A and B are shown apart, each in its own frame.
Chain A
Amino acid sequence: MDFQLSEDQRALRAGIRDLLAGRFDRDRMRAAHEGGGGVDRALWRELGAAGFFALRLPEAEGGVGLGLPESVLLFEEIGRALLPGPLAATQLAAGAVKGAAEGEAVVALAEAGRPVGHLEGADALLVLDGDRARVVTGAALRQVVDGARPVRSLDPGTPLWRVPDLSAYEGEALPDGARLRREGALLTAAEQLGSSSRSLEAAVQHAGEREQFGAPIGAFQAVKHLCAGMLVRAEPARSAVYAAAVTGDPVEAAGAKLLADEAAVGNARDCLQVHGGMGFTWEADVHLRLKRAWLRAGQWVTTTDAEEALAADLG
C-alpha cells in the first residue's frame, strides 16, 4: 500500500494548475462570472487539446489511457480555479458523443427534477434517470431547448434552464448508468474538494493580514478555530475522494461525495465569516464558491441519496 501521489500524478496536477493559472486567472474567473457564466469554448478546446476530456479513453481509441485517480486530481484543480461548465458530464461522455473527447462538444447534464445548467449551446445532453443514462442530441435536443425556460440562476457561473419532462425525448442509451452516476459524483466531489481547499487558503491568508484590536485577526482563537475546523473538514474528505477513485467502490464514492459536499459548503461559509463584511460583498470571491458548492451538492448523488446508500451498506 502506498497512498501517496506518484511522480506522474504530481506532474499531471502541476500541468493543469499551470494551464489554468495562465488561461483562467482570477481576473478571467471574475469576468466569466460577470458575463453571465457559460462555457468558454476556446478554453474548452485547449483543455481538449491537453487531453483533459480524453483522459480516460483507452489509447487505442485516441485517448490518454489514464484512470479515475488522475481524473480526480484534475477536477480538484478545476474546482480550485472555479472554472464553470459541465466538465464532468463532458468527460464521461467522451467516446460516446462526437467531439466531446477533443473539447469540441459541450455535454450538459440533465437530471430528473433539477434545472439543467449550460443547456443553451450544449451539443448534447447527458440525461440521468435513476441508474439509466442516455444521450440526447440533434432534433430531440433542439426540442428540449425550445421547450425550456431560463431560470434566474443562483450561481452566476452556471446559467440554468427549467426543462419539460425529459422522458419524452428520444436518446441513445448508454451502458452502465450506475457507473456514470458514481463517477460523475466522484469527479464533482473532487471539484468540491478543490473548492474547499481554496476557501481554507483564502481564509488563512486573510486572517494573517487583516488587523483588528492591534493584531492580525488570525491571532484570535475564535478565528483560529474556524480555520482549523476547515482543515479538519477538508483532509478526511480528500482521503475519501482519493481512495474512492482508486477503489471505484460505490459506497465509498457515496461517502466521498457526502464529505466533499460538506467540506465545500462548510468551508465557503466559514471563509465568508472570516472575511467579515467584506465576505458579504459581491467583490469577494467566496460567494461564488459557496453558490457553486450548493449547486454541485445537488448533482449526481445528493446528501440524502449518499446517506441512504451508506446506510444500506451497514449491518
Chain B
Amino acid sequence: MDLAYTEEEEAFRARLREWLGSVLPGLPGKPDPGDWPGRRAYDSGWQKLLYDAGYAGLHWPADAGGRGATPTQHLIFLEETERAGAPYVGANFVGLLHAGPTVAAEGTAEQRARWLPPVLRGEEMWCQGFSEPDAGSDLASLRTRAVRDGDDYVVSGQKIWTSHAEVADWCELLVRTDAEAPKHRGISWLAMRMDSPGVTVRPLRTLAGSTEFAEMFLDEVRVPVSNRVGAENDGWRVTMVTLSFERGTAFVGEVVACRRTLDALAADARRSGRWDDAVLRRRLGRLNAEFRALWRLTQWNVSEAQAGGGVPGIGGSVFKLRYSHARQELYEAAAEVLGAGDDLDLDREWVLDRLSSLSYTIAAGTSQIQRNIVAERILGLPKGR
C-alpha cells in the first residue's frame, strides 16, 4: 500500500496545475442553466481547450484517440480539475464518460475512428437512450424495436429521461432486434444520429424547473447496420460494459467537489455563528469522514483497476450507493447551515444542487437496484424472486 504519487505522477500534476492556472481565469462566465445553446457552446469550448492541451481522453487507449494515461493519472486529472473549480464535463458527460469508453472497448476500428475524435474535441455530443416508459429498472424489458431493412435498421419506439437530448448529436440507443428471444438476448446497441428523420425530442421539466432530460419518440428512424456496436442481439453484454463505466468512474471527480462544498459550508457556519450548534458541527464532521473515505475508496478502486486493466469492476456499485446518499446528506446539512429561510432562494447555486442531488439515488440505477447487484453479484446471494 503506497499512497504517495510517483515522481512522474507528481510532475503530471504540476504541469496540469500550471495549465489550469493559466486558462481558468480567461474562461467566459457560466451560461444560464436554461440556455441550452449557450451551455453546449460552453461545454464544447472547455473540451476543446482540454483537447488542444493534450488532456482529452487521458485514460482512453491511444488507438481510440486517447493518451493512454494510467488510471492514476486520470484520477489526478479529476482531482486537480475539480479542486481548481474547472468546468464540469456537462453535456459531454455521456460521450466522454460512458458511450466513448464503450466504443473504445467494444467498437470496430472504423467506429472508433469515426466517433471518438469528435467526442474528444468537444465537437459531437452524445446522449443515452436506454430507459423507456415501461423499462426503467427492468431495462432489459425495453420494447423499442429495430427491423432490418437492407443496410439499415428501421427503429420505432419511445425513450424517456434522455439527459441532454436537446443538444446531442448522437444517441447510444438500445433496441430490440429479436422479439422472440428471451428478453436479455434480443437487444442490440446502436449509435443513432439525433438529426435523423423520425426523431422527435420533447423536453421534460425536472423538479428543479429545468429541462435536463427529455422524452424521445422514434418513428421509423433509419440507422445504418454499421452503426451497431457489438454483434446483433449481443447488446445486453455491451450495455453491461457501458453501465460499469457509468457507475464505476463517472462520479469520481464529484467527491472532490463535495469536499469543497463542505469546507465552504463550515466556513459559512463559522461566520454566522451556526458553528456553536454542536449537533450541526458534528454532523459536518461526520460528512468530512464520509467524503474522505469515499476518496480513499476511489483510490482503492482505481488501484485495483490499474492492477486488473481496463473496465472498472462492479465495486463501482458500492461506491455509487454510498456516494449518492452522502451527497444528499451533504445538501440536507447545507440547508441547515444556511438557515431555514435561505433555502427558498432558487437563485443560490447550492439550492439547485440540493434539488439535483435527489436524482442521485435514482439515475444510473436506483439504490434498490444497486443493492440487488451488490447482493447477487458481489456477495453471491441467490437470484431474486
Binding site for B on A (CB under 8 A): 1-6, 9, 69, 200, 204, 207-208, 215-216, 218-221, 223-225, 227-229, 231-232, 235-240, 242-243, 245-247, 251-252, 254-256, 258-259, 304, 306-315
- 15 further A-B contacts with Cβ under 8 Å, apart from A1-B75, A236-B294, A307-B282, are A1-B2, A1-B9, A3-B1, A204-B381, A224-B381, A225-B368, A228-B372, A228-B379, A246-B3, A258-B286, A306-B285, A307-B289, A310-B289, A314-B288, A315-B263
Taking the closest CB of chain A, its distance from the CB of B45, in whole angstroms, is 31
Residue from A3, A9, A240, A304 within 8 A of B303 (CB atoms): A3
Contact A231 B382 (CB under 8 A): no
Residue from B286, B300, B370, B385 within 8 A of A3 (CB atoms): B300
Cα separation A215 to B269 with both chains bound (whole Å):
52
In the bound complex, residues from chain B placing their C-beta under 8 Å from that of A200 are 379
CB<8 Å pairs between A and B, sample of 18: A2-B306, A216-B382, A219-B384, A228-B375, A231-B374, A231-B378, A231-B379, A238-B300, A239-B299, A239-B300, A243-B3, A243-B299, A258-B286, A258-B289, A306-B285, A310-B288, A312-B285, A314-B267
In the bound complex, residues from chain B placing their C-beta under 8 Å from that of A227 are 375, 379, 381
Cα separation A68 to B382 with both chains bound (whole Å):
39
Residue in B4, B374, B376 with the greatest tally of chain A CB atoms within 10 Å? B374
In the bound complex, residues from chain B placing their C-beta under 8 Å from that of A312 are 285
Residue from A204, A221, A315 within 8 A of B266 (CB atoms): A315
In the bound complex, residues from chain B placing their C-beta under 8 Å from that of A258 are 286, 289
Interface string of B112-131 (1 = CB under 8 A from A): 00000000000000000000
Contact B299 A3 (CB under 8 A): yes
Contact A219 B307 (CB under 8 A): no
Binding site for A on B (CB under 8 A): 1-6, 9, 72, 75, 262-263, 265-267, 269-270, 281-286, 288-290, 292-294, 296-297, 299-300, 302-304, 306-307, 315, 318, 321-322, 368, 370-372, 374-376, 378-385
List the 5 closest A-B pairs by CB distance, nearest first.
A311-B285, A255-B289, A314-B266, A310-B285, A315-B266
Cα separation A169 to B281 with both chains bound (whole Å):
36
Taking the closest CB of chain B, its distance from the CB of A37, in whole angstroms, is 31
Contact B5 A311 (CB under 8 A): no
In the bound complex, residues from chain A placing their C-beta under 8 Å from that of B265 are 314
A223: nearest residue on chain B (CB-CB)? B381
In the bound complex, residues from chain B placing their C-beta under 8 Å from that of A6 are 1
Contact A304 B282 (CB under 8 A): yes
In the bound complex, residues from chain B placing their C-beta under 8 Å from that of A239 are 293, 296-297, 299-300
Residue in B321, B322, B371 with the greatest tally of chain A CB atoms within 10 Å? B371
Cα separation A113 to B281 with both chains bound (whole Å):
25
Cα separation A2 to B374 with both chains bound (whole Å):
25
Taking the closest CB of chain B, its distance from the CB of A16, in whole angstroms, is 17
Contact B2 A225 (CB under 8 A): no
Assuming the A-B contacts A310-B289, A311-B281, are A240 and B296 also in contact, with contact meaning beta carbons closer than 8 angstroms in the complex?
yes
Assuming the A-B contacts A221-B372, A221-B384, A225-B371, are A232 and B300 also in contact, with contact meaning beta carbons closer than 8 angstroms in the complex?
no
Cα separation A245 to B2 with both chains bound (whole Å):
10
A67: nearest residue on chain B (CB-CB)? B1
Cα separation A228 to B293 with both chains bound (whole Å):
18
Contact B3 A228 (CB under 8 A): no
Cα separation A310 to B72 with both chains bound (whole Å):
27
